[in-house]
Structure 1
Amino acid sequence: MSGLFGTFNVATRGMSAQQKALDVVSHNIANANTEGYSRQRATMETTRPFGMPSMNNAMGPGQLGTGVQISSITRIRDNFLDYQVRTENGTSGLYQGREKFLTEIEGIMNEPSDTGVSTLLGKVFDSWHELSLHPESSNSRTVVAQQSKALTDELNNTYNQLTKLKGNSQDVIKQNVVDVNSMLNQINELNQQVISVKVGGNEPNDLMDKRDLLVDQLSVKFGITIDKKSLGGEDIKADGYDASLVKSINKDEVSRFSYVSSIKPTGTIKPGETGDYEVTYYKNGDMTSEKNKATLNINLTPQQYKELDQGRVLLADKEGNAIDTAGVKLESSADFTNLALFKPQKGELKGYMSVQEDIDNYVDQLNSLAKGIAFSINAVHSGKSGAADDKLMFFVNKDNKTTDGEKDINAGNISINEDITGDPMKINVGKGDTPGATDGNRALAIASLRDIRLNIQSINNTTTREQFLTGGNNKFSSEPDPVLGVKTISSSVNGMTVSGYFTDIVNRLAVQTQEAKRIVKNHEALLSGLDESRTSISGVSLDEEMANMIQFQHAYQANAKIISTVDELLDVVINGLKK
């Protein structure tokens, strides 16, 4: 239809299109500071023109336009930049998680400081040297006992703080499991809403923004793989795993995560030894109700125990029931080789899991240090290479009340023999095997241990004093030293001094922490650049939106002017022809 009424309709369509474009501009401006929002754009296209080719108008002047319409409202988004950001989020999350806990380990080690283990070690050996100069002095003996107690107290405290920190890291993993499951449920729901809106022929821009924001947050937790589906749907998997976490079709056939709260031996074995364990986990990590609690009986080797203890996260079905690697629900028992233990390749979860291994290593090294100190000083103090013959040990396991006071000694339980703290005069100082000798040679031999290279790195949880002093290159002399007149320990070619061993621990920690900080800093710069690029495309520019607003406003006014003009012309045609 042409004529004035056709022109009227063209202008009406123009006003409607400009008004919708203004609505889009208004929506952009309102969400200029909304996290995850992508600016939207109204796409305009001409409506179907008059004068389409036909028998009647084949020789006409041509097609006559009928105006404009909004064909779609699309969001501006670069999928490749999204992929890059999410990939870097995983790597950044890994080292941020590591940096957080490695920094705390540095604080626990408290080095260098006047109250750290390194300084206290020096004071202990200094006190023994001073005692060798004044063997008759009860004050010098008391100083030895007190300085040694200060060292054992610091070792105990460091051990306990590291153990507590490991527990804290596991609490963080548990909370991450809850958060991840919540994110996945929200993404799954948004996925279905996006598809339903797409089926209706509309663009679910705001829903897709919410989903993308959650996916960005999820990519920080662990590496993810996204498979784009029809109608805007997305399938999401963890890198390296076939189990779907989000599905656009069959949305209930998805996996979730559960948290292992405890691993307890069921027999007489100690934690970490080969045997049967009762593994308790909470479905979906929700520990607010005992209804979510479930147990599995699993036979574990020391290495498998360590993997499960440091990992703590199980793949599960949607209800949180643990599954095997084939996706089958586990009832009451499981084979560890088939257990679907979640081992992310990157992300915060990977960082928290890996730092537990670091904590375990530092605890083991601290235990080796404590054993090395106890074995070497006790041996020279008593003149015995084996604990069975030692009737008055200097260092003992405070939790072990048996005759073998060194049994299972570590950094957490090392202490000074109560008989010695109660009566420092019982300290063996001279050549004789009984306390009270006043020549000071034995105290000098103990002070000399400061410079003896001990094979401490070979010590493990089961090492005894006899094994330590007869294995490797550390040899306890069978005959007294010709100069000192007491039995001593020879240096190991491959060994380290006690202070050097601890300094090596601290140095490795410093290197690990600096590496984590450096990578975090580098990835923050990289992510900042990627985020800036993404913002330049998807972010709202108020200057640009104001310019668009003025453009659409003027177009709206111009279309309104056309309607006013057509109204005047129609008035002439309808009312003016009567005259």
Structure 2
Amino acid sequence: MSNISQIAYSGINAAQIGLTTTGQNIANINTPGYSRLNTVTESLSGISSLNAGGGVKVTSIRRLSSEFQNQQLWRATTEQHYYNSSQQYLTALETLMSGDGASISSGLDQFFAALSEASATPGSIALRQQIISEAKNLAQRFNGLNSNIDAQLNALHEQRTAMATEINGLTTNLALLNKKIIETESINGDTSALRDQRESLVNQLSQYASIRVGEIADGSISISLANGQPLVAGSTAGQLKVSETMSGEQEVALSFAGTSFPLKQDNFGGAFGGLYSVEYDNLRPMKASLEEMAEQLADMVNNTLATGFDLNGAAGQPLFAFNSGSSTDLLSVNNLNPAELALSSAAGETGNNEVLLDLLNLKGQTITLGASSVTLNDAYAILLGQVASASRQNQADLDTATAVTGQAQSQRDGVSAVSLDEEYVNMMTYQQAYQANMKVISTANQLFDNMLAAF
């Protein structure tokens, strides 16, 4: 009778542990990064071949987590955030450049329209004033776009610095979790919650950079960048430092275990790498092209005016001033009054419009943009097309990466996430097992009582 009771008691104990495990899973159904638990049991052998057995025991409570699925999710997350961090700047730049209020192409059209209107009566002060006004409007469009790109670069630099701080905090916490897990597992303690926390932090870290993760025999993990530089090893964490150069650019260095070395950002991956890509593939080239346009426009107009004479018979003066490197005053209009515009090819001929016609012909002349010779309007159309194309392609890549991340998350959840339907079935199964084992004990006690009553 005692053997029957012993078997039943082991069954009750296993059912209790199963119910506890199921309750833990249900309680954490909404906990981000939680990996569900599963009890592992095995039967106990009897003392002889004529013995049915010794019952059941729970050998472990297994944490259901797939390293392969986690790695897939981390890689997909890295890719998604790479494109996501770029898209916000590309969208803002495209929206600004295509708007009528900031379009340099529209400003050029209005400037040349003012020149065309004055061509019939070049001596008109009102029409000359209109030329100066449109020149100022055109300069403001250059300055506004240039200033906006500078503002985006400043915001990007602030975001990069903030990301470095986030990365440093994550690596520090991961190193601390490594230490706790090593200590807990050395005394055979439960590290399920600690491992959940660590995987969640690794997933956050994968948003910022492309990383390689490997587990060590002591339970800790090592994390390095894609190019091999270490971020976390055991209880040691690397720290990023962002500094600004004399040219206004940012450099990134990694300090690890007392050693500091520079990092290349072009293969960093993640949101951090996305910032580098949009800065050096889009924003800075656009700013340089804008400066080329402004400088060549100023030279073309000023050189043409230098061949003419104003209403007072004086030699032509420059209309535009180009200020290289200026954020808010890249292109400005000199302080000329309408009579000082040199629109005549001969001194004293106020009705002469030959220089004015030469100015009009500038609309069809070409400038050098990169390696191409294009008109001013075509140059801006090319720049706008480049930004629109880059934004469209990046958005397509972002959509694809987002879908892949969603699939990777679903696959991870298929292994590790809690399913209420499954847990309800487990709960009923363990409850029935508990009640059945209680019935075995009750039956054993009844048999024992009947045996005593026989004497």
Q: Normalised by the size of structure 1, how large is the TM-score?
A: 0.74
Judge conservation of contact 1:38–1:76 (CA < 8 Å) in 2: yes
Tell me which residue corresponds to 2:302.
378
Residue 227 of structure 2 aligns to a residue in which SS? coil
Q: Give the conservation status (yes or no) of the 8 Å contact 2:307–2:355.
A: no
Of residues 8, 12, 15, the one that matches 2:12 is 15
Distance 1:317 1:89 in 2: 25
Cα distance between partner residues in 1 of 2:8 and 2:328: 86
Q: Match for residue 233 of structure 2?
A: 247
Distance 1:66 1:501 in 2: 86
Other-structure match for 1:279: none
Q: In the alignment, does 2:25 pair up with 1:39?
A: no
The equivalent residue for 1:169 is: 156
* Structure 1 counterpart of 2:204, from 214, 217, 239: 217
Match of 1:91 among 74, 79, 82: 79
> How big is the shift at 1:409?
7.8
In the TM superposition, residue 572 of structure 1 has moved relative to its aligned partner by 2.8
CA distance in 1, matches of 2:316, 2:358: 19
Q: Is the 8 A contact 1:428 1:437 kept in 2?
A: no
C-alpha distance 164-114 of structure 1, shift in aligned 2 (>3 A): closer
Q: Which one has more relative contact order, counting CA pairs under 8 Å at least 6 apart? A: 2
Q: Could you say if the C-alpha distance between residues 511 and 24 of structure 1 is closer, same or farther in structure 2, counting changes exceeding 3 Å?
A: same
Q: Does 1:81 align with 2:18?
A: no
Q: Quick check: 1:538 aligned with 2:444?
A: no
1:23 alignment partner, SS class: helix
1:446 aligned partner? 359
Q: Distance in 1 between matches of 2:189 and 2:325?
A: 70
Equivalence for 1:313: 252
Counterpart-to-counterpart distance in 1, 2:75 and 2:92: 27
The aligned amino acid for 1:363 is K
- The 1:115/1:256 distance shift into structure 2, 3 A limit, reads closer
Does the C-alpha gap of structure 1 residues 179 and 531 become closer, same or farther in structure 2, counting only changes over 3 Å? Answer: same
The secondary structure found in structure 2 opposite 1:133 is: coil
Letter in 2 for 1:372: Q
- Structure 1 residue 5: Cα displacement: 1.3
The 1:204/1:49 distance shift into structure 2, 3 A limit, reads farther
> 1:565: how far off?
1.6
Q: Which has the higher helix share?
A: 2
Say if 1:188 and 1:246, in contact at 8 Å, map to a contact too: yes
Stretch moving more, 496-505 or 61-70:
61-70
Does residue 152 (structure 1) correspond to residue 107 (structure 2)? The answer is no
Q: Secondary structure at the match of 1:42?
A: strand
**Contact 2:75-2:210 within 8 A present in 1 as well:** yes
Per the TM alignment, residue 375 of structure 1 is displaced from its structure 2 partner at its CA by 0.3
Asked if 2 retains the 8 angstrom alpha-carbon contact of 1:372 and 1:456, the reply is no
Partner residue in 2 for 1:549: 427
Which aligned pairs between 1:328-343 and structure 2 lie closer than 5 A? 339-340=262-263, 343=266
TM-superposed deviation, 1:413? 2.6
SS in 1 for 2:332: strand
Q: CA 1:433–1:112 in 2, change beyond 3 Å: closer, same or farther?
A: farther
Which residue of structure 2 lines up, in the alignment, with residue 131 of structure 1? Answer: 118
Q: 1:560 aligns with which of 416, 438, 442?
A: 438
Any conservation in 1 of the 2:64–2:415 contact (CA below 8 Å)? yes
1:291-329 CA distance string (max 9 Å, x none): xxxxxxxxxxxxxxxxxx25x3211136xx7713xxxxx
Q: Which moved more, 1:13-22 or 1:80-89?
A: 80-89
Equivalent position of 1:417 in the other structure = 334
Output the CA distance in 2 between the equivalents of 1:8 and 1:410.
Answer: 86
2:421 partner amino acid: D
CA distance in 2, matches of 1:181, 1:340: 15
Measured after TM superposition, the shift of residue 520 of structure 1 is 0.4
Structure 2 Cα separation of the partners of residues 95 and 35 of structure 1: 24
TM-aligned CA distance change 1:48 to 1:207, over 3 Å: farther
Q: How does 1:494-513 map to 2 (within 5 A)?
A: 495-513=373-391
Q: CA deviation at 1:577?
A: 4.6
What displacement does 1:115 show? 4.6
User: Match of 2:199, as an amino acid?
Assistant: D
Maintained 8 Å contact 1:152/1:411: no
Match in the other structure for 1:258: 241
Q: For 1:361 and 1:205, locate their aligned partners in 2 and report how far apart those are by CA, in whole Å.
A: 49
Aligned to 1:402: none
Unaligned runs of 5+ in 1: 52-60, 265-270, 273-308, 325-338, 385-389, 400-406, 459-493
**What is the TM-score when the length of structure 2 is the normalising length?**
0.93
Kindly indicate whether the alpha-carbon contact (under 8 Å) linking 1:258 and 1:322 is maintained by their aligned counterparts in 2. Answer: no
SS at match of 2:367: coil
SS in 1 for 2:65: coil
Which amino acid is the alignment partner of residue 245 of structure 2?
I
Paired residue total: 449
Q: Which runs of 5+ in 2 are unaligned?
A: 309-314
Cα–Cα, structure 1 residues 445 and 412, in superposed 2: closer, same or farther, change >3 Å?
Answer: same
Aligned to 2:311: none
CA–CA distance in 2 between the matches of 1:451 and 1:131? 18
Q: Deviations over 1:437-482 (max 9, x none)?
A: 3222211110111111222436xxxxxxxxxxxxxxxxxxxxxxxx
Residues 43, 71 of structure 1: 8 Å contact kept: yes
Give the drift of 1:408. Answer: 7.0
Tell me, in whole angstroms, the C-alpha distance in 2 between the residues paired with 1:343 and 1:135.
Answer: 55
Please tell me whether residue 369 in structure 1 is matched to residue 290 in structure 2.
no
Quote the offset at 1:7 in angstroms: 1.3
- 2:255 is matched by which residue type in structure 1? A
Q: Point out the more displaced range, 184-193 or 504-513.
A: 184-193
Aligned-partner Cα distance in 2 for 1:240–1:439: 68
Residues 366/115 of structure 1: CA separation in 2 closer, same or farther (3 Å cut): closer
Question: Is the CA contact 2:293–2:376 (under 8 Å) kept in the aligned structure 1?
Answer: yes
Cα separation, 2, equivalents of 1:221 and 1:170: 15
Q: 1:549 to 1:437 in 2, by over 3 A?
A: same
